[in-house]
Structure formats: structure tokens, C-alpha cells
Amino acid sequence: MPRLFIEHRIAPRGMVKGGLASFISPLDREFSEGDAVLLNVSLKGCQLHSEQMLPMDQPYQLIVYVPPHPSPILIHTAITRWSRGYLHGISFLDLAPSSELKLKEVVQQIPVTPWVLSSFQFGMWSSRSFL
């Protein structure tokens, strides 16, 4: 019997192929910088794959590269909301108006991730058919 999965996202996320991200924290934090693979993105957040642990509930800057958009997008303040192994859910808290405009362009050009795909990734469904 499958488990129920309720989508709580306000903004749908689009799957990204070949996306990258770099994170930079203030010098007084436990880590200073790192890199990640960008898996999906929305106007409100993204999902990253990184072997480096991201601290929970500590703000940092994030730079995302979303092909085929030619320039990176700077997120002034991002925060990690959840982590499961190497997967991390990120919320965008503060963007410059120009970054928000770029992000809107990018999100409109990529396909939206159905919520069922996300639930499979986290093992929310059993291997049995749910029809």
C-alpha cells in the first residue's frame, strides 16, 4: 500500500540538467564555500546534491547556474530547510530584483517536475502498483 504524499510547495519546481551551484557562507560560520549539482529549481527554492554537508537554518549566499541561461543567478540569502544524505532542500530568502527576473526567465523555460517524481526519489511510494 503506498504512503500518501502531500505537496507543500507554493511554486512548482522544474527539473534541471547540467545545473550547478556554489555556496558561500560568512567567515564566522563553520564552512566557507562549496559546490553542488542543481537538480531542480523554482522561484522559492531548489534541490541540491552535494557531498558537503550544508548547515541547517544558517543563511548563506548561493550562486546557481541553470543551462541554457548564459549568466549565473546570485541568491543573496539562502537557507537549508532539510537534508537527506547528499540531497538538500534550499529556500531562497533574499534575491536582488535583477536576480529574481533572471530566475523567472529560467523557471519559465524548464519543464515542471511532477510531485510524484519527487516522491519516488525519497522512497515515499512502495514498489507495488498503486492503481
| Domain positions in the chain | 16-121
Phi, psi for residue 128 in degrees, rounded to 5: -80, 155
Nearest partner of 33 among 17, 21, 45, judged by Cα: 21
On whether the CB atoms of residues 121 and 13 are closer than 8 A, the answer is: no
| Total count of residues recorded for the chain | 131
Degrees to nearest 5, angle at CA 39 with 35 and 43: 100
**What pTM, to 2 d.p., does this model score?**
0.72
* Amino acid residing at 54: L
* CATH architecture of the domain with residue range 16-121: Beta Barrel (2.40)
On whether the CB atoms of residues 49 and 37 are closer than 8 A, the answer is: yes
Q: What is the pLDDT along the chain (131 residues), one digit of tens a residue?
A: 454 444 454 555 667 788 899 988 765 666 668 899 999 999 999 999 998 878 777 889 999 998 888 889 999 999 999 999 999 999 999 999 999 999 988 888 876 655 444 444 444 444 443 33
